[in-house]
Structure 1
Amino acid sequence: MIKAYNLTRQADYWIGEFAVMASTCQILLDDVDAEQADNLVALAYAEAKRIELKYSRFRDDNIIARLNHAKGRAVQLDDETVLLINLADLCFQLSDGLFDISSGVLGKLWHFKQQTQLPSNAEINALLPSIGWQQAQWQVPLLTLPAGMQVDLGGIGKEYAVDKVAQLLQHEMQSQQINSAFLVNFGGDIYANKLRRDGAAWQVAIEDPKHLGESKLIVSLAQGGLASSGDSQRFIDVGGQRYSHILNPQTGYPIAGGPAQVTVYAQNCVQAGMLATVALLQGEFAEDFLKAQDCRYWL
């Protein structure tokens, strides 16, 4: 049977790799044997895949599909989905409406793949009435979307998966009496549980968005979450102007004037990702927002 993940020995730790949520995912395990490493990576892959299947907007058999095809009818959500919708609602409030899980429909016009022409004002204006989380009726556990509105949890799903996998690994290690440091890395969204066995922190390279493939700085991560948000790999150049894939749901156009990349450290990956994304949505006021949150960040 072919496994969905690879497990190799790298220097003094194990590394498991697999692809989920359109990202290269890694599990680094510091002080375990080969059998333990294989079991832990298998658990991590299964949990990440479960979350992807449950919340992918590209499927027609999950809760997101039910919501997006409800045509104005209320949909009752399970506890896990309630948690994610509450998180999305918090992001909406914290960002003054700039983080909006109903803005995914703009992807019909902005696909950032070999796009040589901007959408017209008329095309954008036709979609804007279907955007606006404030139009949804959220009465836990019932969510009612106006007919024509769709939601996409991609903006928080990967960070949520990182934290869920980390919780699962921690629980499994405790039950097996394994005392090991680990790091979960899903496409640059990261969580580490503790210092390594030699007392050293994990060394995380943050890529220079202006020189892809080159590390701009190294962050020592002992415990907590680290997440980056930026436009270094998803943008278009039309008429000599660069347009970021970070879209303003209130105008339908890309955010302008902000940093190329924001990286934030927080207690967990969800919190780090939320702060990084909301900061980037502030455009030229990104650093002002981060200073107000009293968090560690890199621009």
Structure 2
Amino acid sequence: MKYFFAIIYIITTVAINAQETHKRTLKLMGSRFDITVVANNKTEADTYIDIAVTEISRIEKLISSWDENSQTSKINRNAGIKAVHVDKELFDLIERAIQISKLTDGAFDISYASMDRIWKFDGSVTKMPTPENIKASVAKVGYQHIILDKEKQTVFLKIKGMKIGFGAIGKGYAADKAKQLLKQKGVQAGIINASGDMNTWGTQTNGDQWKVGITNPMNKNNVFALLPISERAVVTSGNYEKYIMINGKRYSHIIDPRTGYPSSGIVSVSVFAPSAELADALATSVFVMGKDVGLNFINQLKGIECIIVDEKGKIVHSTNIDIQDKLKNE
């Protein structure tokens, strides 16, 4: 449902003192992860990063729909058949996802995995599918059909063939959990960057806040916004490398789960929120809602900010964001 491209740069300053900044890049959950920690030495940093990797791998096994032994796969296999008992962690994650679905009026929906794949973004699609095929493609989608029993801790998908998936929030959730665990272990500062799903805590070794520079994907050589970020998450998602053109109009690979039609009008969205999980879900929602509706939606949420680049390269942002450098449309 989402395609990530890193257009956020962490700007760091490494001070010469007792602590150092250490970073490791690796592939987890099928994506690039950059894990940065502030530690006393490399040995200590490696230990902490290993802890984060183990936690992210644990989460992947819990939420993966590709692993037939995962609880998520068991839920999907039993759609329309019976309720499935799951761990509290997975139950709570699904419950939060449903709450976001309600908040966004279905623009975000973890049952998007039920969609028939009638859209291809490899250049083979040159005309719109028929309205009948598009409508049929989302017939099994709908968070309203996910039944939760809090007392029994079970999940039931009412429609046979229905599926849930965590492609839109999974990496954000993993970044949150890795950050939480490292803080519990005594790591005072760091960054978990999960292919554009980024969570930070603490400060740089010189006491300065972490800073993110955001570029316009239409002009990647220029940073148009520089923002301090601490104890916050920022998620950037974009469609500038995965889209189709039909009759001169650009359509994103991000499909509206309510209608089956691709989103259009937006090239990238950066959302700032208290958690990467929430920022992840809202970034998807804004893509689906469109620029005007998406901005109005974000402006109503306390503690949430966003920056949008539309298909013409115009940059807009929510009213509650504080941008240090002057915002420029390139």
- Which bin holds the TM-score, normalised by the shorter protein? 0.7 to 0.9
Per-residue deviation at 1:76? 1.1
Instruction: Could you list the structure 1 runs, at least 4 aligned residues long, displaced by more than 3 angstroms after superposition.
Output: 117-120, 211-216
CA distance in 2, matches of 1:85, 1:30: 33
Match of residue 31 from structure 1: 39
Q: Structure 1 287/127 Cα, relative in aligned 2: closer, same or farther at 3 Å?
A: same
Q: Choose 47-56 or 79-88, whichever is displaced more.
A: 47-56
CA distance in 2, matches of 1:112, 1:212: 23
Per-residue deviation at 1:113? 3.2
Among all aligned residue pairs of Structure 1 and Structure 2, give the percentage whose two residues are the same amino acid. 29
Secondary structure of 1:108's aligned partner:
coil
Match of residue 266 from structure 1: 273
Secondary structure of 1:129's aligned partner:
coil
Where do 1:101-116 residues align within 5 Å?
A: 101-106=110-115, 108-116=117-125
Per-residue deviation at 1:125? 2.6
Question: Could you say which structure has the greater relative contact order, defined with CA pairs below 8 angstroms and 6 or more residues apart?
Answer: 2
Where do 1:1-299 residues align within 5 Å?
A: 13-72=21-80, 73-106=82-115, 108-117=117-126, 118-140=128-150, 141-145=153-157, 146-173=159-186, 180-212=188-220, 215-257=223-265, 259-283=266-290, 284-294=292-302, 295-299=304-308
| Aligned CA-pair RMSD | 2.1
Q: Structure 1 235/136 Cα, relative in aligned 2: closer, same or farther at 3 Å?
A: same
Secondary structure of 1:109's aligned partner:
coil
Cα pair 1:57 1:65 within 8 Å, conserved = yes
Per-residue deviation at 1:214? 5.2
Give the letter for the 1:253 counterpart.
Y
CA distance in 2, matches of 1:41, 1:153: 24
Cα pair 2:213 2:225 within 8 Å, conserved = yes
Q: Choose 246-255 or 232-241, whichever is displaced more.
A: 232-241
Cα pair 2:114 2:161 within 8 Å, conserved = no
Per-residue deviation at 1:239? 4.0
Unmatched runs of 5 consecutive residues or more in structure 2:
1-12, 15-19, 309-330
Give the letter for the 2:282 counterpart.
L
TM-score (normalised: structure 1): 0.87
Q: Choose 244-253 or 225-234, whichever is displaced more.
A: 225-234
Give the letter for the 1:203 counterpart.
K
Q: Structure 1 115/152 Cα, relative in aligned 2: closer, same or farther at 3 Å?
A: farther
The answer to which structure has the higher helix fraction is: 1
CA distance in 1, matches of 2:275, 2:100: 15
Q: Choose 106-115 or 56-65, whichever is displaced more.
A: 106-115
Secondary structure of 1:30's aligned partner:
strand
Cα pair 2:114 2:138 within 8 Å, conserved = no
Q: How many residues align?
A: 284
Q: Structure 1 64/119 Cα, relative in aligned 2: closer, same or farther at 3 Å?
A: farther
TM-score (normalised: structure 2): 0.79
CA distance in 2, matches of 1:242, 1:89: 30
